[in-house]
Structure 1
Amino acid sequence: MSQESSAIDCFNMKTDYQRTFRLDARSPQKVLYVQGTTLKANLRRSAPPNSMFFSVKCTPNVQYTIDPPTQMTSHLSPITLDGKSMLLITMSSASQHENDSKLTVRYYGQNKEVLSNAILHLTALEISLDVDADRDGVVEKNNPNKGSWKWGPDGHGAVLLVNCDSERRYAKQLDTEVDYIAKLSDLRDMSEMVLRTRGPAKLPDGYKLTMHISQSDAESIRVYSPRPQSHSNFLSGVSSGFTTVLTRRVLSGQVPYLGGVAETSFYVEGLRFPDKDFDGLITINLSLLEPICRGLPETPIFTDTVVFRVAPWIMTPNTLRPVEVFVCSTSDNYVFLKGMKNLVLKSGYKLNICHEYMNRGDRWMQDELEFGYIEAPHQRFPVVLDSPRDGKLLDFPYGELLGPDFGYVTRMALRKDVSSLDSFGNLEVSPPVTVNGKEYPLGRIIIGVAFPTTTKGRNMTKVVQDFLWAQKVQEPIALFSDWLVVGHVDEFMTFVPAPDRKGFRLLLASPDAGYKLFRGLKNNGHGQAKLFEGRNDQKPITVDEILEDEGFQAENNYVQSCIDWNRDVLKRELGLDDGDIIDLPILFKLEQDTDYEFRAVAFYPDMVNMIVLGKSLGIPKPFGPKVNGRCALEAEMCSLMEGLGLTCTFIDDFASYHRLLGEVHCGSNVRREGFDFKWWDLDM
């Protein structure tokens, strides 16, 4: 782009920015003009006494108009002066030298005698603080929308990442916790901001450029700039090559004016995610300050503004491609681990095993953490959300996962406020859906809470709920899960990919489907077939015994009513039809918990609590009644899933997970690729 066309672009961007100034008919003035703005002076206000007329002349780089317009074709001749006469001044290009342009206003008396001259010596300067406002990964020049944010594919506004990974591999610490840049790779996690200037070699004496932010925004960002290169800086390391311009404690900092045609890069670092007290929007200002008099504060004569939105943390549903699987190794889960290894190897993904020195006997990999990611046009990386549960796996997310381009975030809560519902088996996300014409291309977060009418039920802690709601892009849905002993939504629901309809199916645990299956077995002469047959750790029970137990039937009727409540919520909030839902034959039993409340647990391994790896499903082995040598529950599950092109692998988790009130999904976790859809393209 030529200097001339760039100047025109800048002019077009800022023509609505008017700066009022005073003419001085007593002595010449030196005025610094910022290109693209308009200088505005009241001609009567500055006129000497008895002035009746005025005239204007200027050098070629200066343009002016008079408002209200006059009938005169030449402003070199005296023009009648009235109280409303305004002089509007612009300049067409940046100055090469200080005071290289001039404008004179001559005032006349009653007989058109010259009373005085107001002389302006003008220096034109181009200033633009630029960001990637069109979200294409490049900091463009003079985007007219850089000072605001708009969602949607035709939206605008720059994106900022929370720098929540750790470039210091062997000195584990979040990059947000240190106020220096240790590696150049850390710049990829920040958003570039460029100061572009054009003008004389230096600013007039006393003028300076400052960058500034509000106190509230200072809690959310840091801004770095490269130091001038020197041999000593090069030898002393990367951190000495950058300086902090803005921090939590420094709200305003002077930035250099380099003279001529120049660009200075700054790097903006996000420090915190959107939350209840932070909407995610950040404003950074660049001001040109003018000196008034020694000992008095400078005053701003021009301000350029850019706006960033901090990227939200985004969860990934079962329909996205897996990258790697995480499980724990404990002293008693060899059988489970063998089944998981075979499944993951067959599916072609990476398996990560957290050994006992790290998990300390805590096997619930799903409950400790949730995988997600953050994204800007120039960078994307995974971020693990650490649960406030803080079991013995509490060191794993920070100690083992946090690293270069692998971020970490958590929300701390008082121990008295944390319940089982704060474990992340109680945090899921749907695939993309459309509900009553409103699209959710990143799906919707799903959490479990207490029943709306209860006064003493358990709930997910408020700090976590506030965090999830504040991310905006996956609007949460609250289900009723407190009817379960453990209280997690993954105990009665999951999603699997499908080749038709909406691209997925919602799987729901269904006691009704279980009783229907068992009644069919009885009618076909298999009433004496036994569940748990061959297990030494569980007393076998026949199909007939299950069907004859009226109390057990009543318990499952209650469970079915709880699941039906959630079914209706999910249909309404996800825009589902009954054809989008598959009921799985799973029975529950009620137990009295430590609060003397009756809550439900799965009677046999809960097949809905599965791991989804593409088209391969890892399902808890249910140990159901055998018909012709095959488990009837497994056969039913295969029949339901194979119609969707999915393969079922049944994993024995009975002793090491089911008896401890968890299953395959509870004991595993999957990091998945992010969405192709860009979150900033959402229509909000």
Structure 2
Amino acid sequence: MSRLLLTGAVAAGLLGSALPAGAVGGPVAALHGDHLTGGSVLFLANLDDDAGRCRAKARTVAKDAVAQEAAYDDAFYQRKEELEKEPDKEKAERLYQELVRTYQRQKNVADRTMAACNDAADAVVNGAQDAKDLARVRTAPWVGAPAGATGRITVSTDHVRVFVKRTSGWSPSTVLTADEVRHGVELGIEGRDIVRDAAAWDGTATLKLVVSGNGSSATGALALKEAPVLTQLNTQRVQKVFAGAAGDSDKVGAAWRKQVDKVVKQTGVPGGVQLLDQGDDSWTQDLFEPAYMSIPGPGGKPQGMKVLLGSVNDSRRVGSRVIFTDLAGADVAGVHVEHVPVPEENDSYDSMGNLETIPPTPGHPVGRIVIGGDGFEHGKTGPAPEMVTLLKSQGMQDPLALDTSWLTVGHVDEFLQFVVVPGSRWGWKALVADPAAGLELLRGVQKSGHGGEIMHGGLPELEWPYDLRIDQRSTSEFLADQQFVETNERAAAKIQANVEVLKAQAGLTDADLVRVPSLFTAKSMDYGMLETEISQLEDGPEKDQAIAKLHAMRDAVAEIPGAVNGLVLNGGRYVAPKPYGPVVDGQDVFATAIGKALGGIGYQVTYADDLTSEHVSEGEIHCATNTLRDSLSTRWWN
């Protein structure tokens, strides 16, 4: 507990009559206590819901939003049609952009409403659990304070609220009586929101105590600092695993969830996989990024809460509401970050599968964030500046930009993952997708005389449309396909360029990497749609140009279900999507090679079949799951 003390000449003048009325001198603030670090008292943004008041309200808000947002949609498209008829095209474009901004704000009304319900939303301490989230400060007793002595507590910003502990409970009134001045009082400090933009508010504040008596006054001051929001690490133990419920017709999706549930329970995670009601959005990883916020509590033990950062991807907007309807509550805060899309942006970069965190390295003791895209100085394409600014403003994890523009989906987790490796240089290593190694495996299959066999060995019986979505050519036909080979060569070069960024800016070396064989293809869903369009065109220059565009495509998605895009669990367990690689002598050569790569760092791999559920929709096991980890045991302030 920190103590606000008045000492020196001013205090002497108040305690007796040594100084004439009105005398002033220099105040001195003496600090000590559990919440003190770096010269400031740390406090939390008190955004969880310890009393459990908000979840039912959030579900009502989300339900009611369906009809309201449909009305917004109708009004938007009607006005858009009107603007398309406007003869002044410059005026029409200006009005259209205003319309888009208004429309987006309207669609986020429900999210703002849900996020506004939390423990800091009112001037009330909501029970004993909520009180634990208050940073504590105590004023020093002035035993000889005269009958007319008074005190007043002030704080320098509206971002911070102060409570006084009285016999009636925690009070937002910060005027102290003479008796309170004599005995000293305990104060509770809470932040009303996280730091979102350090240029607007950097999380600092000054707490002041002004004590008056005998015609004199003195001031004591304490520096306050809000705890940063830090993203969790794969090196932290798993506490919970989430996934969206599989659709009624998705038997493959239901099966792998059941399989993963069994493995999760084997690793000591109670409850197994918790299924969330995400509506039509199956990509649990993309909906929110788990983070945490903590301060030193009694005895130095961390006191804090999980912080779930909702995606600003507009396509994820409805699914992301699960952080309020299913997850926010005691010691779990939900945060809504608003972003108005701009023309030509790639909102896929704003899905949270595109955010990973490098575990601790020298200079970054709580890890460093990596975000994919085409750079932070991106103009119109993404990722959203609001989210990048929020993450940078925490001042601890220094977000690093990686290039994911070469991928159709564009997410970091398609080629990069971090895993605990005890005894290694830093206690962890990076899994990196290796398409060059994947091509070498195919060439080895061909040399062994199995090139004429189907590359995706062991496929189940495929019904439409999966018989079209799964490429059933032979290994030799894949290797003879210039587009396929060049897509993988390009992917290998792009991945290596990202590795060089990690080496230069995060200090990684080749010894910190585990190369995992992979294969990519340009035949994404976008490819399939263009191919369908071409089939409907008449022969001629337009069709020829479309065919040339099709053959020139090199942006990549996983051909072999991507092992790097898997689930890291406790105890050296890892769940990877079943690769369905070439089968030689009864063994899947990719499963063998992947198992060897991960087995070399002490991991036991479980292969889960997501081929006709997540994989054909251009995601994998990691994309469709999320975790909460033991982040609150981290003493980041050390």
Q: What is the alpha-carbon distance in structure 2 between the residues aligned to residue 462 and residue 369 of structure 1?
A: 17
Q: What is the alpha-carbon distance in structure 1 between the residues aligned to residue 211 and residue 360 of structure 2?
A: 47
1:286/1:452 Cα in 2 relative to 1: closer, same or farther (>3 Å)?
closer
1:303/1:555 Cα in 2 relative to 1: closer, same or farther (>3 Å)?
same
Checking the alignment, whether the CA contact within 8 Å between 2:27 and 2:219 is kept in structure 1 is no
Checking the alignment, whether the CA contact within 8 Å between 1:201 and 1:259 is kept in structure 2 is no
Please list every run of 5 or more consecutive structure 1 residues that lacks an aligned counterpart in the other structure.
Answer: 1-6, 19-32, 40-90, 104-119, 138-145, 151-155, 230-240, 246-252, 293-299
Question: What pairs up with 1:430-579 in 2 under 5 angstroms?
Answer: 430-434=358-362, 439-450=363-374, 458-499=381-422, 500-533=424-457, 534-535=459-460, 536=462, 537=466, 538-579=470-511
Highest RCO, 1 vs 2 (Cα 8 Å, sep ≥ 6) = 2
Q: Which residue matches 2:259?
A: 339
Q: Which residue matches 1:425?
A: 353
Q: What SS does the aligned partner of 2:132 have?
A: helix
Checking the alignment, whether the CA contact within 8 Å between 1:199 and 1:259 is kept in structure 2 is no
Displacement after TM superposition at 1:678 (Å): 2.2
Q: What SS does the aligned partner of 1:287 have?
A: strand
Q: What is the alpha-carbon distance in structure 1 between the residues aligned to residue 24 and residue 370 of structure 2?
A: 57
Displacement after TM superposition at 1:391 (Å): 4.0
1:601/1:674 Cα in 2 relative to 1: closer, same or farther (>3 Å)?
same
Q: Which residue matches 2:237?
A: 321
Displacement after TM superposition at 1:679 (Å): 2.1
Q: What SS does the aligned partner of 2:581 have?
A: coil
Amino acid across the alignment from 1:270: G
What do the CA deviations read for 1:342-372 (whole angstroms, capped 9, x no partner)? 221222213465657x222321110001112
Q: What SS does the aligned partner of 1:302 have?
A: strand
Q: What is the alpha-carbon distance in structure 2 between the residues aligned to residue 315 and residue 574 of structure 1?
A: 17
Checking the alignment, whether the CA contact within 8 Å between 2:52 and 2:329 is kept in structure 1 is yes
Q: Which residue matches 1:609?
A: 565
Range 480-489 or range 413-422, more displaced: 413-422
Q: Which residue matches 1:589?
A: 521
Amino acid across the alignment from 1:413: H
Q: What is the alpha-carbon distance in structure 2 between the residues aligned to residue 123 and residue 304 of structure 1?
A: 15
Q: Which residue matches 1:387?
A: 311
Q: Which residue matches 1:305?
A: 221
Q: Which residue matches 1:406?
A: 332
What do the CA deviations read for 1:530-573 (whole angstroms, capped 9, x no partner)? 22233313242222112221222112222222112111101112
Q: Which residue matches 2:618?
A: 661
1:451/1:394 Cα in 2 relative to 1: closer, same or farther (>3 Å)?
closer
Q: What SS does the aligned partner of 1:554 have?
A: helix
1:488/1:627 Cα in 2 relative to 1: closer, same or farther (>3 Å)?
same
RMSD over aligned Cα atoms: 3.1
Checking the alignment, whether the CA contact within 8 Å between 1:506 and 1:581 is kept in structure 2 is yes
Checking the alignment, whether the CA contact within 8 Å between 2:416 and 2:430 is kept in structure 1 is yes
Displacement after TM superposition at 1:609 (Å): 0.2
1:628/1:192 Cα in 2 relative to 1: closer, same or farther (>3 Å)?
same
Q: Which residue matches 1:264?
A: 185
1:531/1:386 Cα in 2 relative to 1: closer, same or farther (>3 Å)?
same
Q: Which has the higher helix share?
A: 2
Q: Which residue matches 1:174?
A: 118
What do the CA deviations read for 1:320-354 (whole angstroms, capped 9, x no partner)? 11111111112212122122122212222134656
Displacement after TM superposition at 1:598 (Å): 5.6
Please list every run of 5 or more consecutive structure 2 residues that lacks an aligned counterpart in the other structure.
Answer: 56-116, 298-302, 531-548
1:355/1:431 Cα in 2 relative to 1: closer, same or farther (>3 Å)?
closer
Question: What pairs up with 1:265-280 in 2 under 5 angstroms?
Answer: 265-276=186-197, 277-280=200-203
Fraction of identical pairs, as percent: 27
1:222/1:641 Cα in 2 relative to 1: closer, same or farther (>3 Å)?
same
1:336/1:242 Cα in 2 relative to 1: closer, same or farther (>3 Å)?
same
Q: What is the alpha-carbon distance in structure 2 between the residues aligned to residue 579 and residue 201 of structure 1?
A: 67
Q: What SS does the aligned partner of 2:223 have?
A: strand
Q: What SS does the aligned partner of 2:330 have?
A: coil
Q: Which residue matches 2:293?
A: 374
Q: What is the alpha-carbon distance in structure 1 between the residues aligned to residue 575 and residue 519 of structure 2?
A: 19
Checking the alignment, whether the CA contact within 8 Å between 2:240 and 2:273 is kept in structure 1 is no
Amino acid across the alignment from 1:546: F
Out of 137, 145, 148, the residue aligned to residue 193 of structure 1 is 137
Displacement after TM superposition at 1:665 (Å): 0.3
Displacement after TM superposition at 1:126 (Å): 14
Aligned length: 526
Q: What is the alpha-carbon distance in structure 2 between the residues aligned to residue 562 and residue 317 of structure 1?
A: 25
Q: What is the alpha-carbon distance in structure 1 between the residues aligned to residue 495 and residue 263 of structure 2?
A: 30
Displacement after TM superposition at 1:288 (Å): 3.0
Q: Which residue matches 2:582?
A: 625
Q: What is the alpha-carbon distance in structure 2 between the residues aligned to residue 619 and residue 351 of structure 1?
A: 21
Tell whether 2:138 aligns with 1:212. Answer: no
Checking the alignment, whether the CA contact within 8 Å between 2:376 and 2:382 is kept in structure 1 is no
Out of 160, 170, 183, the residue aligned to residue 221 of structure 1 is 160
Q: Which residue matches 1:22?
A: none
Displacement after TM superposition at 1:415 (Å): 4.1
Tell whether 2:246 aligns with 1:330. Answer: yes
TM-score, normalised to structure 1's length? Answer: 0.71
Q: What SS does the aligned partner of 2:178 have?
A: coil
Displacement after TM superposition at 1:512 (Å): 0.7
1:244/1:122 Cα in 2 relative to 1: closer, same or farther (>3 Å)?
closer
What do the CA deviations read for 1:564-593 (whole angstroms, capped 9, x no partner)? 211110111221111211222111122457
Q: What is the alpha-carbon distance in structure 2 between the residues aligned to residue 667 and residue 135 of structure 1?
A: 43
Q: What is the alpha-carbon distance in structure 2 between the residues aligned to residue 565 and residue 522 of structure 1?
A: 29
Amino acid across the alignment from 2:322: F
Checking the alignment, whether the CA contact within 8 Å between 2:483 and 2:554 is kept in structure 1 is no
Q: What SS does the aligned partner of 1:168 have?
A: coil
Range 672-681 or range 588-597, more displaced: 588-597
Displacement after TM superposition at 1:419 (Å): 0.5
Q: What is the alpha-carbon distance in structure 2 between the residues aligned to residue 354 and residue 512 of structure 1?
A: 37
Displacement after TM superposition at 1:451 (Å): 5.2
Q: What is the alpha-carbon distance in structure 2 between the residues aligned to residue 376 and residue 653 of structure 1?
A: 41
Q: What is the alpha-carbon distance in structure 1 between the residues aligned to residue 170 and residue 400 of structure 2?
A: 44
Displacement after TM superposition at 1:643 (Å): 1.3
Checking the alignment, whether the CA contact within 8 Å between 1:129 and 1:194 is kept in structure 2 is no
Q: What SS does the aligned partner of 1:176 have?
A: coil
Checking the alignment, whether the CA contact within 8 Å between 1:490 and 1:609 is kept in structure 2 is yes
Checking the alignment, whether the CA contact within 8 Å between 2:376 and 2:401 is kept in structure 1 is no
Displacement after TM superposition at 1:128 (Å): 8.5
1:600/1:307 Cα in 2 relative to 1: closer, same or farther (>3 Å)?
same
Question: What pairs up with 1:242-257 in 2 under 5 angstroms?
Answer: 242-245=170-173, 254-257=175-178
1:414/1:632 Cα in 2 relative to 1: closer, same or farther (>3 Å)?
same
Q: What is the alpha-carbon distance in structure 2 between the residues aligned to residue 291 and residue 598 of structure 1?
A: 81
Q: Which residue matches 2:42?
A: 159
Q: What is the alpha-carbon distance in structure 1 between the residues aligned to residue 376 and residue 321 of structure 2?
A: 35
1:526/1:170 Cα in 2 relative to 1: closer, same or farther (>3 Å)?
same
What do the CA deviations read for 1:175-199 (whole angstroms, capped 9, x no partner)? 1212212313211011112122223
Q: Which has the larger radius of gyration?
A: 1
What do the CA deviations read for 1:478-510 (whole angstroms, capped 9, x no partner)? 101122111110011101222323222211112
Q: Which residue matches 1:183?
A: 127
Range 482-491 or range 529-538, more displaced: 529-538
Q: Which residue matches 2:541?
A: none
1:171/1:559 Cα in 2 relative to 1: closer, same or farther (>3 Å)?
closer
Displacement after TM superposition at 1:529 (Å): 3.6
TM-score, normalised to structure 2's length? Answer: 0.76
